[in-house]
Amino acid sequence: MTETEREFFRKAKEAEAAESLKEPPAVEPTPTPAPIQPTAINHAESFVWWARRNKGNLFIWRCGCGTDTGIKNRVVMGKRKCPGCGDPITLEGIDRSLEQDEVTRLQTIKNERFTQFITTVVIVTFGILFILIKHR
């Protein structure tokens, strides 16, 4: 065997070893979507927050039949019935609806905080500019 041949076989062996080391293509585990339900929700706070956004501080309860009912108080729900279908409006139902909307609520709060922050930055910037121009 010549030197070139030996070199050739050595390379071939190396290539074979490398090939056998290769792992089969890894199957990407599908990421499980994060649970939509927030872990903790303050129903009372959430209720008031939604109610404040509506006319007359009323929380709008949307019944399964599509009728909207304005609700003033989350807790005193004893005899409230949907005017559309007569289904009782329960505290559990309201809380479930609050839980469903919680993600939207938190996102809105975040957005509002950001808008407030930007507004503050703009006002402060103009204030500084104003002072600088005055004192020239």
Min dist CB 119 to Zn ion, Å, is: 41
Q: What is the DSSP letter of 62?
A: E
Three-class SS of 66-117: CCEEEECCCCCCCCCECCCCCCECCHHHHHHHHHHHHHHHHHHHHHHHHHHH
Cβ proximity to Zn ion, 85 vs 109, nearer residue: 85
Q: What is the dihedral of CA 96, 97, 100, 104, to 10 degrees?
A: -140
Q: Indicate the residue among 38 and 83 with the shorter CB distance to Zn ion.
A: 83
Nearest one of 95, 115, 89, 86 to 50, comparing CA atoms: 95
- In angstroms, give the least distance from the CB of 71 to Zn ion: 13
At closest approach, how far in Å is the CB of 53 from Zn ion? 22
Residue corresponding to tokens 């020239």: 136
Binding site for Zn ion (CB under 5 A): 63, 65, 67, 82, 84-85, 87
Cβ 64 to Zn ion, closest distance in Å?
6
